[in-house]
Amino acid sequence: MLRSSKTHVKALHTCITHAMVITVSLALALIALLSYRIKNELPPAVRVFFSTMYLLFPSCFNPIIYGIRTTEIRQHMQKTLTHWKRF
């Protein structure tokens, strides 16, 4: 895999995408944890939001990210969006 530059770049992009999703979900988990540990003036709804988002973010955004990164899906989305702009 590392001998071919094309597959090396593709693997690097995949790792970067995973790292971004993991970083955001860990940041959300840290915010959720700290909001419960530190007694602050955050409303309970905000605490529940962060607690839910760190669980839902990776499972919801991974398919979106990989769908946008897939050439065929991206081209179809661009075609659909330019078709909607005409109306």
Number of domains making up the chain: 1
Q: Which comes out higher in pLDDT, residue 1 or 54?
A: 54
Give the CA distances from residue 23 to residues 9, 12, 17, 29, 36, in Å, rounded to whole numbers and listed in that order: 21, 16, 10, 10, 20
Q: Which comes out higher in pLDDT, residue 9 or 31?
A: 31
d(CA 54, CA 22): 10
Q: What is the span of the domain harbouring residue 79? A: 5-85
Instruction: Give the predicted TM-score (pTM) of the model.
Output: 0.61
Q: How confident is the model at residue 19 (pLDDT cuts 50, 70, 90)?
A: confident
Q: Which tens digits make up the pLDDT trace of 54-68?
A: 788 878 877 777 777
**How many CB atoms are located within 10 Å of the residue 25 CB?**
19
Give the CA distances from residue 75 to residues 9, 52, 68, in Å, rounded to whole numbers and listed in that order: 21, 32, 9
Mean pLDDT of 82-86: 76
